[in-house]
């Protein structure tokens, strides 16, 4: 799954560069934060989306090394930040090669992975579960990779 968090407020002027710190980059001069698991889509769909947004004049933050745990941390932070924004920020989920029910934890795809993460990151897994379910409720785009 790829998520785009969009800041609908004018960006704050700053010289700060984005880091793996997550959604805080939206307040550092970026208009969109692209969250994705790097190994899955970096060289294909996410790269194409990133360049299309940049070409359209959108200042996009993209983490250079999103692993599963960082992607889940970013997603939880995006959901938290968006809920506090009182409508000035939106999450636009793109369900790429996953179904919304996978993200809502109604299938074993993500829920089994969270069970594995529970041992290593017990304090974070509940927030990750809540964020996944919340994003799964948002009407987004469902795309399939047809080997391209």
SS3 76: helix
What value, to the nearest 5°, has the Cα angle with vertex 4 and ends 26 and 8?
50
Kindly compute the dihedral angle of the four CA atoms of residues 101, 137, 20, 108, in this order, to the nearest 10 degrees.
-20
Q: Which of 124, 144, 143, 127 is nearest to 135 (CA)?
A: 127
Q: Which fold, 2-143?
A: Rossmann fold (3.40.50)
Q: What pLDDT is recorded for position 11?
A: 39
Q: What pLDDT is recorded for position 37?
A: 65
Q: Is 126 left (phi over 0), alpha (psi -120 to 50) or beta?
A: alpha
Please give the chain's pLDDT, 148 residues, in tens: 666 666 654 433 332 333 344 444 344 678 888 877 656 566 778 888 889 999 999 998 887 667 788 888 888 988 999 999 888 888 888 888 788 999 999 999 889 989 999 999 999 999 999 999 999 999 888 887 765 5
Q: What gap in Å lies between CA 118 and CA 4, rounded to an integer?
A: 26
Q: Kindly list the domain boundaries of the chain, sorted by start residue.
A: 2-143
């Amino acid at each position: 799954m790829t998520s785009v968090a969009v800041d609908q407020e004018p960006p704050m002027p700053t010289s700060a560069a984005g880091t793996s710190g997550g959604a805080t980059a939206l307040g550092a001069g970026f208009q969109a934060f692209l969250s994705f698991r790097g190994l899955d889509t970096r060289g294909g769909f996410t790269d194409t989306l990133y360049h299309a947004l940049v070409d359209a004049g959108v200042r996009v933050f993209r983490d250079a090394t999103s692993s599963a745990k960082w992607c889940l941390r970013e997603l939880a932070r995006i959901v938290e930040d968006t809920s506090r924004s009182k409508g000035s920020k939106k999450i636009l989920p793109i369900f790429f090669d996953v179904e919304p029910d996978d993200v809502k934890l109604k299938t074993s795809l993500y829920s089994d992975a969270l069970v594995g993460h529970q041992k290593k990151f017990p304090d974070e897994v509940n927030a990750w579960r809540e964020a996944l379910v919340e994003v799964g409720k948002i009407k987004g785009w469902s795309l399939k990779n047809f080997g391209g």
